[in-house]
Each structure stands twice: as structure tokens, then as C-alpha cells.
Amino acid sequence: MATTEVMTVLRERFGFDRLLPGQAQVIEALLAGRSALAVFPTGGGKSLCYQLPALCLDGVTLVVSPLIALMKDQIDALQARGIAAARIDSSLDAESWRAVWDDLDAGRLRLLYVAPERFGNERFLSRIRRLDIALMAIDEAHCISEWGHNFRPDYLKLARLVGELGVQRVVALTATATPAVADQIAAAFAIAPADRVVTGFHRPNLFLRATAVTRAARDAHLVERVRALSGSTIVYVTLQHTAVTVAKRLVSEGFEARAYHAGMKTEERVEVQEAFMAGQLPIVVATIAFGMGIDKSDIRNVLHYNLPKALENYAQEIGRAGRDGAPSTCELFAAHDDVVTLQNFTYGDTPTPDAVRGIVRELLSQGERFDVSQYELSRDHDVRPLVVATLLTYLELEGVLAATAPFYASYQLQPHRPSREILDARPNDARLLGRILSCAKKGRTWFTLDIDEAAAKAGVPRQEVVSAMEGLAHAGDVTLKVSGLRHGYRRVRQVDPDALAAMLTERFQSAEQRDLARIEGVLGLATRETCLTAGLLAYFGEPLEACGHCDRCAGEPVRALPPAEPVSFGPGEEALVREVRAQGHDALASARQLARFLCGLPSPAVGRAKLRSHPRFGALGDVPFAAVLELVEAVG
């Protein structure tokens, strides 16, 4: 498509007269049939890099995005411009689901938004294979890299799916890729060096400030700072309860402020977000659950009450300030207790050698072809589901296992008319459908259908049962719900399970060390004596001598970070360990499980036993995990 035609679409459909730096290069590559990588800062116009080509290419553009709220905001904006866009996610009812597929089958949709986890849905894959996918846009593409700060196993499998689905071109988009992570993304999707577009991270309108504080003085400093600032403000915190207490403190000081975190009811979160977006609420005190997809250009201040877990997170979060180009302030508070909290979360994610060994032995004791439930592995070995998914992905990367197809063990169906009417309307398929439906077991309001059992009784492959049920749902004859997600695998080669477990344990521990190093990197920036902006940009491979507009460049005095409080335990802490242990909770049987509990680190076993509401959960949450584990082991 000629440049003049592209610019016509840009003006008429998006209302812009020009493209931002980097956008033209990415769009040109895509329209020429090549894949591209766009590393743009937050607010740098990544979305237009796929939305504009979507209107210029034949076929549908599939947008992979990790957040439902972000999808909804973008779709609302596109639809307001008369652009046919939709999403498929767990919030859709059966009627909305059918409407989306009707539009796709008829070629009426230009953009379809889905979460990466959707590709683990057997029903979705069976339908999506029929589409002509002109472009796949992968947002938050850094999640594909295990060297990145937010590795997600579902992203790593996208590269394989691109080939399986016959996708013509890919655009990978991120705001937070270091050079090493950008290399991994480009390699995964065969993106040529000339089509890797990095526009730079420097935002001259952002005034960066980093302030060392003590835990006791932090609230007073926040109040002082907020009183000196004006305009829309986000205060980022690490923990949900911190969001609540800090918001209450600001309200008590006469400010309009509200908390926002993932533990709130959906309606309340929506109310807070909409009030902030409309300018009716000046201050939000939030965990990182707030901010992704916040398209508000006049956020004047982003204050980090707690340290973020990585410089990637920090860059993304401060990038929400000053998107209108006006001067904005970003201040980072630094205290040693933040480091302890972040380190403890990291330790809590690392599986024990025994857990890794147990999972590996269970997997390799299966036959050549087998299927597993990640939920059951998580439950049985007391390892978080994301860690289980990562371990399985590692086994694929090592060539030990090859994933076959994810599937659901059973469907629940609710007929909307009698079975006889359904069968009479399909004389050619009535016999097969009758055999399948005869396997459904009636409950109070739903029937349950075991897919493998139905396939065996009907004498057909399970895919035919899935397609038959999908056809009934699409026609509106039944409503379907899926349950019992299982992942199929084929063992590629025999290995020694204990040697493999030792290698995987080392890999998880290396990931733990990388995460700990990222925390130290944030602390290093906060205590840096020279230009803060230059320090941040250096992490992302962008050289800068001095910005001239951060607090260090302005000559403001640098406060020394108060030393960490020494860790010491007395009879009270020892009694605490004995008290909880004497209660005999199976979920706290091992020393590591009890140490995690006392540090406030959730686990599948703690959740299943409903111990997160236990009065002692998190009783030692401000103490380093390693010290708590040593205490638990010493008490015996």
C-alpha cells in the first residue's frame, strides 16, 4: 500500500496527521510482509503500529494482550472510531461469544484481542485455525524472555503457534526490553536486525527524584511531598494493605485519595479508576494492578512509596506520567524494609529441590504419551501454578517433553431446547449426536460430559466430539462451560530424573538470583549520586551523560540510605514458631512452608487450608526470609 494511502487511513480513521518516531518504520515493515519489533517507551504509540496495518491488510489481526481491562479500553476506542474490533475472554457470555465468532466467520472483524492463556483452550484453537491471520500483534512481548523481569510461560509458546496457525507476520511490542531481552524476542520471531525499532527511553519532561527514607518517616515525607505537588497523582505501593493504610493517612491529612488493588471488588476498582480518569479523584494509592492501559495524558506525579521490584517496572510505571509532554514529577522513596519485602516474595516463588524432584519423577513415570493437570501438580507438591507452568516449559525447552494439545477433560452443557428437537434439526448428524449426548450426566441445572468417554462410546476421535459440541453452542442450542484443563505431552527422550531435577533446581535458583539482582539494581538507582536519568537509561542500553533535569543534576543534596535494622530473635519469636507448629497444620509441615507462612508468602497448601486469614500469617513479614527459615529450623 502506498504511503499516501496509509496516511489517508491515519487521518480518516485515527485523526492523526503524522506518525510518531519509530511508528513509520514498524508499519512499513509490516505492510511489506516482514515481522518487526517495536521497543517504545510507555505512551510512545505502540498500539497504532498494529491498529493501522490491521485496516490495510487482508485478513484479521490477532492481538495478544495480558490484561482484559487493557483490551476493553482499546476496543472501546476503536469502536468509537467505527473500527470493527472485539475480544474473547472469560467475561463474555454465550451470546457475546457467538456474536464474535459470527463476525469473524463473516469477515467483519479487523482486530481480535485475546489473552496468551487463550491459546491453551482447545475450543479456541479449533476455531482460530480456520481464520486468515494477516498479523499477530504481541503486546508486552518481553514476557517471552526468561531473562526478562516478567517471564510468562504462555508467551514462550507463541513463537511455535505462529507457525502452526500460518500467521503471515508478527509485531512484538514492549516498553521495557533490555538489549538482551530484545535479542531473545527477535530470535523467537525471526525479526531481522533492520526491523528492530528502538526509539529510546529518555523523557525530558520527567523530573526524576530519589529520596532515602526511614520506615518511620516515610508517611510524613509522602504527606509533605503531596502537599507541595499538584495535579493527578499515582502513589505506588507493594502490598494491598499498604494501599489502604496510606490512602487513609492521606485522607486524614485532608487530601482526596482512594486505594486501588487486586483484592477489591471489581465494581469498586472500576469506580476508582473511572473517577481518576475523569479528573474527579486527584490521588490513587495503588499496587501495580493499577496503571496498565491507563490512557490518561495529564498524570502530573508518580510517587513510589515502596521500591518497585525491577527497573523495568519502574520505567513502565513512571512512563504513565506526563504523556501530554508537560513537566511531571516522579519520586522514588527508598528504605531497607522494601528490599526485605521484595526479596521475600522472590524466595517464596522458588520451589524447593524436593518439590522439583517430586514433580519431575511424577512426570517421567508416565507413559510415552500422557496428560497432566497443572492445578493438581501445584496442589500435590505445594508449588505455585506459575512455577509449575514454568517447569513444564523448561522441560520442553530441554527437549525432554513435547507439548501435544491442551484440552478440557469435561464440558458442562445446559440445553436450551429438548434433545429430540436438537437431533431432529440435524438429521445427518443425529446418530452421532445422540451417542454423544447419551453420555451426559444430569446434575441440578447442568449436564456433565466426559469428552474421552463420549468419544469412545461414539467411536470417533475426541476432536469430533469437541467440534460437535462447539457446533451446538454456536447455534444457540446449548451453553457450554469447560472444566478440568489438562495439558498433553509426549516424552521425547529418556533422562535421569534426579539429574534433570538438579539441573532444573539450579535453573530456578539462577532465576531467583537474577530477580534479587534486579532489586539491588533498583536500590542502586535510588542511592545513585550522579544523574538518575542516565543511570536508568544505561540499564536499557541507551547512553546519556547527564539529563540536566533530575534532582541529582539540579544539585539537590543526596540523603544517605539509613542502615538496615539488625535482625535479632528472642523468646517471643521462638514461642511464635512453637505456637504455630503445635497447631499441627499439614500445610505447614516443613520448615520452608512454616517460614513462608510467617513471612506472609502464600502457597497452594496455605490457600487450600484457608490459613491466609490466620492471625499469625505474615507475623514476621518484615524480616528476611532466610533469617526466618533459620529460626524455624533452629527451634526444631
**Cβ count within 10 A of residue 263:** 12
Please tell me the distance from the alpha carbon of residue 20 to that of residue 49, in angstroms, as a whole number.
Answer: 10
- Lay out the sheet containing 447-450: strands in order across: 369-372, 478-491, 401-415, 447-450, 441-442
Helix (H, G, I), strand (E, B) or coil at 512: helix
- Angle in degrees, 0-180, between the axes of helices 451-458 and 430-437, rounded to the nearest 10: 130
Of residues 588 and 160, the one with the higher pLDDT is 588
Q: Judge contact between 489 and 402, C-beta under 8 A.
A: yes
> Residue 586: what residue type?
D
Same domain, 328 and 362: no
Same domain (yes/no): 296, 365: no
Spatial CA neighbour of 54 closest among 113, 130, 174, 135: 135
Residue 546 falls inside a structural domain: no
Inside any domain, residue 561? no
Q: Is position 372 within any domain?
A: yes
In the structure grid, which three cell numbers stand for residue 319, read together? 512512563
Average pLDDT, the chain: 90
Instruction: Looking at the structure, tell me whether residues 289 and 210 fall in a common domain.
Output: yes
Question: pLDDT for 295-332, tens place per residue?
Answer: 788 999 999 999 999 999 999 899 899 989 999 999 99
Whether pTM > 0.75 for this model: the answer is yes
pLDDT band of residue 266 (cuts 50, 70, 90) is confident
Per-residue pLDDT tens for 322-380?
A: 989 999 999 999 998 899 989 998 888 889 899 999 999 999 999 899 999 999 999 99
Reported as a pLDDT band with limits 50, 70 and 90, residue 563 is: confident
Cα→Cα distances 239→33, 243, 341, 342, 542, Å: 45, 7, 9, 10, 32
Highest mean pLDDT among 13-22, 36-45, 575-584: 575-584
Query: Is 316 found in the same domain as 222?
Result: yes
- Structure confidence by residue, pLDDT tens digits, 491-503: 999 999 999 999 9
Residue 108, phi then psi, degrees to nearest 5: -85, -20
Same domain, 39 and 153: yes
Written as nine digits, the cell of 221 is 515525607
When mean pLDDT is compared over 150-159, 511-520, 555-564, the highest value belongs to 511-520
pLDDT per residue over 91-115, tens digit each?
Answer: 777 778 888 988 998 889 999 999 8
Looking at the structure of the chain, the number of domains it has is 5
Could you tell me if residue 506 is inside a domain?
A: yes
Report the run of H or E that residue 209 belongs to, with start and end. strand 206-212
Q: Are 356 and 324 in contact (CB under 8 A)?
A: no
Q: Is residue 1 very low, low, confident or very high in pLDDT (cuts 50, 70, 90)?
A: very low
Domain boundary among 135, 166, 198: 198
- Domain membership of residue 559 (yes or no) is no
Q: Which three cell numbers stand for residue 244?
A: 489502604
Residues 16 and 43 placed together within one structural domain of the fold: yes
Q: What is the DSSP letter of 175?
A: S
To 10 degrees, the CA torsion angle through 22, 24, 27, 31? -150
The DSSP bridge pattern shows strands 401-415 and 478-491 to be antiparallel
507 in the same domain as 382:
yes
**pLDDT at position 546:** 95
Burial 427-462 (b: 16+ CB within 10 A, else e): eeeeebbebbbebbeeeeebbbbbbebbbeebebeb
**348 and 314: one domain?**
no
Strands (E) located in 217-338: 232-236, 257-260, 283-286, 299-304, 328-334
Say if residue 256 is in the same domain as residue 320: yes
In a domain, 552, yes or no: no
Residue that terminates a domain, selected from 198, 223, 246? 198
CATH of the domain at 371: 1.10.10
Kindly report, residue by residue over 365-400, the tens digit of the pLDDT: 998 999 999 999 999 999 998 899 899 988 988 889
CATH number at residue 147: 3.40.50.300
Q: How confident is the model at residue 407 (pLDDT cuts 50, 70, 90)?
A: confident
Strand pairing category for 299-304 and 441-442:
unpaired
Say how far apart CA 122 and CA 40 lie, in whole Å: 34
Judge whether 15 lies within some domain: yes
Instruction: Check whether residue 45 and residue 180 sit in a common domain.
Output: yes
- Percentage of the residues of the chain whose pLDDT score is greater than 90: 56
User: Do 305 and 384 fall within a single domain?
Assistant: no
Alpha carbon distance 41, 44 (integer Å): 5
DSSP code per residue over 17-33 = SSPPTTHHHHHHHHHTT
Cα–Cα distance between 55 and 12 in angstroms, integer? 12
Within a domain: residue 566?
A: no
- In terms of Cα–Cα distance, which of 166, 157, 160, 142 is closest to 37? 142
For residue 497, the enclosing domain spans: 340-400+492-521
The torsion angles phi and psi of 206, rounded to 5 degrees, stand at: -95, 125
Tens digits of per-residue pLDDT, 184-217? 999 999 999 999 999 988 899 999 999 999 988 9
Residues 429 and 378 reside in one and the same domain: no
Q: Is the predicted pLDDT of residue 146 greater than 80, yes or no?
A: no
Among 167, 198, 229, identify where a domain stops: 198
